[in-house]
Amino acid sequence: MKLRRGWAAAQARPWNDQTVELASLRLERGGDRFIGACVGWLAERGVKRVLSPAMPDDQSSVWRRAGFENHLELVVYEKDLRQPPPPPLHRVAADPSPDPAALAVIDDRAFDPTWRIGKAGLVDAMAATPTSAVLTVRVDGVVAGFAIVGEMAAVSYLQRLAVDPDHARRGIGRSLVRASVDWARRHGARTMVLNTQPENLAAARLYEDEGFVRLGARLRVLAKEGA
């Protein structure tokens, strides 16, 4: 949902599909007072807590001025894409018409409640870059895991990676990472960046094994309680 006041604009959506009490707010233009007004408007509609996008500390001042505080932390990984990846272990296909509701079912099953982003979050992830793709691995014709990968200005972003727990540990995640790297290289990216939760050991092992290096930088999601 778009929120506007004069020149200022923001997008709000539910944080995930499980609760209407948490909202995600993305600022397009505007300052701390506009952010505060958005929080107030959402609070009047039953939102108890508003969360910012993940961002580096040096971009958080406008949110902090609006009363937002540290809430969640993410670590950042990067991979140089000069070398081609090894072939995926599974057949990975780009989905020409991805169904966010179907992907959200897998996302909800794969992620802990805090990190689920729901249909609207997945749509945002697909739209975050001018070029993007949803890559899937199917088992018996049914999607068992997916990756959302995007590219902008020669930098690629692994926006989302989820494997249905029923199909865990069979190399599907690894295949999706390799296919994402291949997609990004074919779209002119020189590097791939992603973020994940600091405590996500499975993801850390997978990414490091596939040649990603953990950067010192951290991203934070900030939050403010609705009034």
Ligand X SMILES: CC(C)(COP(=O)(O)OP(=O)(O)OC[C@H]1O[C@@H](n2cnc3c(N)ncnc32)[C@H](O)[C@@H]1OP(=O)(O)O)[C@@H](O)C(=O)NCCC(=O)NCCS
Q: Does 214 bind ligand X (CB under 6 A)?
A: no
Q: Does 2 bind ligand X (CB under 6 A)?
A: no
Q: Does 173 bind ligand X (CB under 6 A)?
A: yes
Q: Does 202 bind ligand X (CB under 6 A)?
A: yes
Ranges within 89-118 binding ligand X (CB under 6 A): 110-111
User: Please, what is the minimum distance in Å from the beta carbon of residue 209 to ligand X?
Assistant: 5
Closest by Cα among 44, 17, 29 to 105: 17
**Which CB sits closer to ligand X, 80 or 209?**
209
d(Cα 67, Cα 222) in Å, to the nearest integer?
9
Q: Which of 53, 200, 211, 214 binds ligand X (CB under 6 A)?
A: 200
Q: Does 53 bind ligand X (CB under 6 A)?
A: no
Cβ neighbours of residue 50 closer than 8 Å, sequence gap 6 or more? 12, 22, 23, 24, 25, 38, 39, 42, 43, 68, 223, 224, 226
68's tokens: 């937002």
74's tokens: 């993410």
Element (H, E) at 169: none
**Which CB sits closer to ligand X, 19 or 200?**
200
Instruction: Choose one: 61-69, 185-193, 201-209, 211-219; the region binding ligand X (CB under 6 A).
Output: 201-209
Cβ neighbours of residue 9 closer than 8 Å, sequence gap 6 or more? 2, 3, 28, 29, 30
Residue numbers at the binding site for ligand X (CB under 6 A)? 110-111, 145, 161-163, 168-174, 196, 200-203, 205-206, 209
